[in-house]
Amino acid sequence: MTIKRTSGILLPIFSLPSRYGIGTLGKEAYKFIDFLVEANQSYWQVLPIGHTSYGDSPYQAFSSFAGNPYFIDLDLLVQDGLLKRKELKEIWIEDLTRIDYGYLYENRYPILYKAYVRGIEKYRKGFEVFKEDNKWLYDYSMFMAIKKHFDMHSWLEWPDEAIRLRETKALKQYEEMLKDDIEFYAFLQYLFYKQYLELKKYANDHGIGIIGDLPIYVSLDSCEVWAEPKQFQLEIETHVPKEVAGVPPDYFSSDGQLWGNPLYDWDYMKKDHYSWWKKRLEGVGKYFDVIRIDHFRGFQAYWAVPYGAKTAKNGRWVDGPSKDFVDVLKNDFPNIQFIAEDLGDITEDVMELLKYSTFPGMRVLQFSMDPNGTSFHSPHHHVPNCICYIDTHDNVPIMGWVRTAKKEELNYAKSYYGLNQKEGYNFSFIRAGMNSVAELFVCQMQDYLGLDEKATINVPGTLGNWKWRLSGKELNKRLAKKISKIVHGCDRDRK
Residue 91 is classified by DSSP as T
Across the 495 residues of the chain, what is the mean pLDDT of every consecutive 10-residue run?
A: 89 96 97 98 97 92 97 98 93 85 94 98 97 96 98 97 97 98 98 98 98 96 97 95 91 83 97 96 94 96 95 95 97 95 91 96 96 90 97 97 95 95 96 98 98 95 92 94 98 94
Report the C-alpha gap between 215 and 218 in whole angstroms: 7
Output the pLDDT for position 288.
97
294 is catalytic: yes
Cβ contacts of 415 within 8 Å, gap of 6 or more: none
Phi and psi of 68, rounded to 5°? -75, 115
Identify the pLDDT of residue 1: 53
User: What is the predicted pLDDT for the residue at 254?
Assistant: 81
User: Of 75, 327, 394, 474, which is the active-site residue?
Assistant: 394
CB 260 within 8 A of CB 220: yes
Q: Is 151 exposed, middle or buried (0-12, 13-18, 19+ CB in 10 A)?
A: exposed
Residue 56 annotated to the active site:
no
With beta carbons less than 8 A apart as the criterion, state whether 312 and 257 touch.
yes
**Coil, strand, or helix at residue 7?**
strand
Distance of CA 412 to the CA centre of its chain: 32
Residue 56 pLDDT: 94
pTM recorded for the entire structure: 0.96
- In angstroms, the first-to-last Cα distance of the chain is 13
Q: Are 43 and 441 in contact (CB under 8 A)?
A: no
| DSSP letter assigned to residue 282 | H
Which residue among 181, 294, 391, 447 is the active-site one? 294
Residue 2's CB is within 10 A of a number of other CB atoms, namely: 5
Identify the pLDDT of residue 354.
96
> What three-state secondary structure class fits 14?
helix
Helix%, strand%, coil% for the chain, nearest 5 = 45, 15, 40
Active site residue 341: yes
Kindly state the helix (H) or strand (E) to which residue 484 belongs, with its residue range: helix 477-489
For 61, the 3-state DSSP assignment is: strand
Q: pLDDT at position 252, please? A: 66
291 and 232 Cβ atoms separated by less than 8 Å: no
Main-chain dihedrals φ then ψ at residue 333, nearest 5 degrees: -135, 60
Domain residue ranges in the chain:
228-277+292-337
Q: Which of 181, 213, 221, 341 is catalytic?
A: 341
